A = this chain, B = another copy of it.
Amino acid sequence: MGRIVAGIRTSHVPSIGGAYDRGRDSTPAWKPLFDAYVPVRAWLKEMEVDAAIMVYNDHGADFFFDKYPTFAVGCAESYAIADEGFGVRPLPVIPGDLAFSQHLCRSLVYDEFDITICQEMRVEHGFLVPMHLCFEHGESWPVPTIPIAVNVLQHPLPTARRCHRLGQAIGRAVASFERDIRVAIIGTGGMSHQLTGTEFGAMHTENDLDFLERIESDPDSLLQLTHQQLMEKFGVEGIELIMWLVMRGALPDNVRRIHRNDYAPMTTGMGLITLQGDA
């Protein structure tokens, strides 16, 4: 049986990817962000993770509104790097774990989650930024990773509670897998941001800190929030935070916090929190 041993929540702001590709991780503006992930990478290495599950959203790289899934799960041997509109970033292809994906899909569907199963899936900054923040790579990545894409673009979005339930179902799927694998789950997106309207760039740092606190100690208080309430607290695009709830649902109730960071240089609260589930 598999075990979820590590949980990570992190922003996936695309400009982090740009800074990374241009080697700007040590500039004064970016150092506070990149430095926070150095111990995270060391910790993940120590945790000897066999596979990762990346809960993210596509921002129009591989899905269009002709056929827009609520939850899409990767089920392939590997995942190509998408062209988001400015060419393909120089990153290695993402290795998958086909048998684990197939088990995950079977378990989720029989558990009454109506996922879209993707045997071809190209991944983009929502997935890639957390990937290169959390894992080192040379020619290849150290762990196979399963993409799970959540609709946070086109309302109706899945409710906060449904996201948490998806996480719980992922936890059951991992526990019933035949191989004894150690799994990390990463919930990405947010924190507060608003990318449209006259309040473009508005951040809500108080609310971000409150969310960081609650997701660790009192996740239940977040599950009853409606999308309207969440957007009023975190901005229209800050609704991405519902993806952190998937990750929270997959972890055991009692977790130990390992790292925490927040940084808000431009238009988005860049939060980070890691939780260890083997307490």
Contacts and interface: CB of A to CB of B under 8 A. Distances in A.
A229 interface: no
A263 interface: no
B156 A67 contact: no
Given A70-B109, A109-B70, A114 B65 contact: no
Contact of A116 (B116, B156, B157): B116
Interface residues of A, number: 32
Given A67-B67, A69-B69, A162 B112 contact: yes
Contacts of A69: 67, 69, 114, 116
B109 A156 contact: yes
A113 interface: yes
A117 B154 contact: yes
A68 B116 CA distance: 5
B119 A66 contact: yes
B70 A115 contact: yes
A170 to B, nearest CB: 13
Contacts of A272: none
A125 interface: no
B110 A159 contact: yes
A63 B117 CA distance: 12
Contacts of A158: 109, 112, 114
13 contacts: A63-B67, A67-B67, A67-B72, A67-B116, A67-B119, A67-B120, A68-B116, A69-B69, A70-B114, A70-B115, A105-B156, A109-B158, A112-B162
